[in-house]
Amino acid sequence: MAEQTSQKFNYVDEIWGIADYVRDIIKRSEYNRLVLPFSLLRRLECALEPTREAVSAAVKEHESTWGRESDNYCAFSKKAFYNVTNFRLNNLGANDTLDALMEYINGFSPNARDILLRFKIEETCKILQEHGMLYTVCKRFSGFDLSSENVSDREMSDIYEHLIQRYGEQVAEDAEDFMTPKDVVRLAVSMIFANDDELVNSDKGIVRTLYDPTMGTGGFITDALDLLDEWHKDKKMTAPAIIVPYGEECEQESWAMGKANLLLRNAGNNGMDEYDSIKDMSSHVMYGDTLSDDKFEGMTFNYTLSNPPYGKKWEKQASAVNDEAALGFKGRFGAGLPSISDGSMLFLQHVVSKLAPISEGGGKAGIVLSASPLFNGDAGSGPSNIRRWLFEKDFIDCIVKLPDSIFFRTGINTYLWILSNNKPEERKGLIQLIDASEMKTSLRKNLGNKRYEISQEDRDWIVKTYIDGHDHGKSVIVPYTDFMYRKVTTQQPLHAALHFDNKKLDEFFSQKPIAKLSDDNKEILRQEIVAEMIEAMDNTVPYERAEEIVKKTRKLMTKPESTVTAIAKSILDTYMVKSKEFPKIIDSKGNIVYDVDLKDSENIPWGMDFGEYMEKEVLHFAPETVIDETVTDVGPLQDYKVGVVGTNISFNKYFYRYEAPREPKEIASEILELEKGLESFMEGFLV
């Protein structure tokens, strides 16, 4: 094989050069159907090269009994896949390249072939063949040494992701959905593995499961496996803990790359026994939409990692999601539904549903989310109820505020949530917040929107702060009730009277209930209104007079077309004036009439006495204010008490730092200096 540097950016440039070679034939928006499957094909080819002759001999001997598709061939390929042909990218021939290539692809084991065909590689190759370019493309890819000895699994994943980033929106509109930088992945993996001494040190062959419901190209799973291997490397174990990966992805190309990453996981197989070397670690990687089609329904896992798409609509999945939400807590979305414009909190609930039960040791999860799941939604809304459910079930262990500009395609603030259903006794009922927003190192060269990375040193600090449960300037541990409140509705009495104004007669008679009256009935009402004006001192009469006027006039009307209530409301809408100078209004049943315009709400901190709050925060400014006790908590988690339960997680509450404004003299001095500089510039310009 040709000598190649293992630096990923060189590989990306070389592969991209092939894409440029076919740019007049293949649309830029379809480059993914060329560079990704051919890179994968070459990766598979390099992995099989050492055992190719053994497989070829086995095919000659056993094809008549095994056929061309049999797991028995894996014993000869020493991999979880095989190819029964003698083809390589460099020996397909210049004349019938397409036929030879398709025979080569169809000669792969089903698990590998399905990945390649998911890219619709045959359609792309037909176009290249028609223009006489397929042979050259195959030859150029055959020059890359993509063996596992030369390019690690994570480096290969980086190559895929940088290729996707290279053509960005033209190739995959939502590329950011599945591109999680390695530094973020490593942090999340370290956090969920933290404190698991058995996973790191046990030599009893324990098996743990790891699940990623939005796996993209498989970075979370690959790095979790890498990290565990690193921890076990120097321990000289005979039966170290192993992880069985599971994943689901709905984007075809990223699914194919993620599955390929795991299929090739044992490509090097140095030091492995025969069973391990032919074990297909991609067998539990499924193609599907997690929200609408859970491929692992009813299953739970020891660990879960996920970076779901930020702010992505779930309208396509709405029917299935609504059906499952109707099941309540028997389904995945019993706590509530977020806005249709952002499905992040659906994934949050889904991840919780996959935590292994406590009887099996419990489950732990890490999920990367934008800021909105911390605070979106008013009290009683879907998002607020989802947070409330997480609090009351004590699923949230820690939330880390990550630095900005650490993702390839977005610079927004992101947060790493650590979830658990089996928290240590000393952390039960508590949530740790870690502000790691400044734990970042500038990159020498920006990678899209990624300007910073979380260094190993910074990751170690974050993990140690989490493990030790530090409560300091960058970390707090507080009861989850600190993030809860009751939203109570407040009312104030109506103080009003009627002020008759001749100028408003036309406005009054234009109102719908009045306009419905016959001309004779209108005239009767007009005369009574005018009479009230003449009789009333300064045209002002009590509020209650409206209903009295209507009852009196309706007796004089012939078949009045509007009700007493409707006509009285029209009088009030036209002639009512409000003022604290007027008496408080009491209805005919002796109840206070409240001013609808003064209806308001107060968010009372959890556990605080309502009376104490009102005395301190409200009554001093509005002494007649009362809490409307008819508004109570209802919904999937209701307690029927006064006020609707709300939730809101605020990092600023704990980590905001006040910065005093600069001295006016200092600012004025700078302005004068700038003015002098501007004058000098203008003089030089005009001379």
- In the predicted model, what is the mean pLDDT of residues 525-541? 78
Q: What pLDDT sits at residue 142?
A: 93
Question: Sign of dihedral through CA atoms 493, 495, 500, 505?
Answer: negative
Indicate if the pLDDT at residue 27 is higher than 90. Answer: no
The predicted structure's pLDDT at residue 377: 93
Instruction: Give the pLDDT score at 175.
Output: 43
Does residue 444 or residue 470 have the better pLDDT? 444
* Window from 7-21, 449-463, 578-592 with minimum mean pLDDT: 7-21
pLDDT at 178: 47
Q: Supply 663's token pair.
A: 């001295």
List for the chain the helix, strand, coil content (%; round to 5): 45, 15, 40
Q: Report the b/e string of 290-301 with b at 16+ CB within 10 A.
A: bbbebbbeeebb
Cα–Cα separations (whole angstroms), residue 672 to 664, 678, 680, 683, 684: 12, 10, 13, 17, 19
Specify the pLDDT at position 315: 93
The identity of residue 497, as a single letter, is A
Cα 592 from Cα 575, distance rounded (Å): 20
List the structure tokens of 519.
């001309």
Question: Contact, 88 vs 129, CB < 8 A?
Answer: no
Whether 651 shows a pLDDT value over 60: the answer reads yes
Percent of the chain predicted with pLDDT > 90: 53
Q: What integer is the mean pLDDT of 173-198? A: 79
Q: Is pLDDT at 144 greater than 60 in this prediction?
A: yes
Q: Give me 598's structure tokens.
A: 């003064």
What are the residue ranges spanned by the domains of the chain? 1-151, 496-578
Residue at token pair 């990218």? 89
Query: Could you tell me the pLDDT band of residue 7, with boundaries at 50, 70 and 90?
Result: very low
Sequence-ordered list of residues with C-beta below 8 angstroms from that of 624, at least 6 positions apart, any chain: 492, 493, 584
Give the CA distances from residue 343 to residues 211, 349, 386, 470, in Å, rounded to whole numbers and listed in that order.
Answer: 19, 10, 12, 33
Which phi and psi angles does 139 have, rounded to 5°?
-65, -40
Degrees to nearest 5, angle at CA 387 with 383 and 388: 115
- Give residue-wise pLDDT tens across range 86-117: 999 999 988 899 999 999 999 999 999 998 88
Span 244-273, average pLDDT: 77
Residue 275 has pLDDT above 60, yes or no: no
Residues counted in the chain: 687
Phi and psi dihedrals of 283, rounded to 5? -65, -20
- pLDDT at residue 544 is higher than 50: yes
Q: Given a cut of 90, is residue 532 above it in pLDDT?
A: no
Alpha helices in 67-120 (DSSP H): 74-77, 97-106, 110-118
Question: What is the mean predicted confidence (pLDDT) over 138-163?
Answer: 81
Question: What is the structure's pLDDT at 161?
Answer: 65
* pLDDT at 438 exceeding the cut of 70: yes
Alpha-helix residue ranges (DSSP H) falling in 365-434: 372-375, 382-392
What is the full DSSP assignment across 252-289? HHHHHHHHHHHHTTTSS-TT--HHHHT--TTTTEEES-
Asked if residue 269 has pLDDT above 80, the reply is no
For residue 124, what are the CA distances in angstroms to 32, 40, 120, 131, 163? 10, 15, 7, 11, 17
Q: 430 by DSSP, 3-state: which?
A: strand
Q: Tell me what pLDDT residue 678 has.
A: 67
Question: Confidence band (pLDDT; 50, 70, 90) for 635?
Answer: confident
Tokens of 358: 């406590």
- Say whether pLDDT at 4 is over 60: no
CA angle 632, 340, 409 (to 5 degrees): 125
Q: How far apart are CA 551 and CA 563, in angstroms?
A: 10
Q: What is the largest CA-CA distance in the chain?
A: 117
Q: 271 pLDDT exceeds 60? A: no
Rounded to whole angstroms, the Cα distance separating 84 from 537 reads 106
Is the pLDDT confidence value at 594 over 90? yes
Beta-bridge partner residues of 401: 415, 435
Q: What is the mean pLDDT of the chain?
A: 87
Q: What six digits make up the tokens of 605?
A: 């901190």
Q: Counting beta carbons within 10 angstroms of the beta carbon of residue 219, is it exposed (0 to 12), middle (13 to 18) or buried (19 or more)?
A: buried
**pTM for the whole structure:** 0.84
pLDDT value at residue 658: 62
Q: Tell me the pLDDT band of 176, cut-offs 50, 70 and 90.
A: very low
Q: For the residues 60-81, what does the mean pLDDT come to? A: 92
Per residue in 362-376, pLDDT (tens digit) is 999 999 999 999 999
Mean pLDDT for 216-226 is: 88
Is the pLDDT at 171 greater than 60? The verdict is no
Q: What is the pLDDT of residues 477-514, one digit of tens each?
A: 999 999 999 999 999 999 999 888 878 888 888 888 98
pLDDT at 601 exceeding the cut of 60: yes
pLDDT for residue 129 is more than 70: yes
238 or 647: whose pLDDT is higher?
647
Q: Tell me how far apart the alpha carbons of residues 236 and 234 are, in angstroms, rounded to a whole number.
A: 6
- Percent residues over pLDDT 70 in the chain: 91
Calculate mean pLDDT across residues 298-304: 96
More confident site: 668 or 288: 288
| pLDDT reading at 390 higher than 90 | yes
Q: What pLDDT does residue 174 have? A: 45
- In which order are the strands placed within the sheet that holds 576-578? 540-542, 496-499, 576-578
Task: Kindly tell me if the per-residue pLDDT of 3 is higher than 70.
Answer: no
Whose structure tokens read 């889904």? 350
Q: What mean pLDDT is predicted for residues 660-667?
A: 74
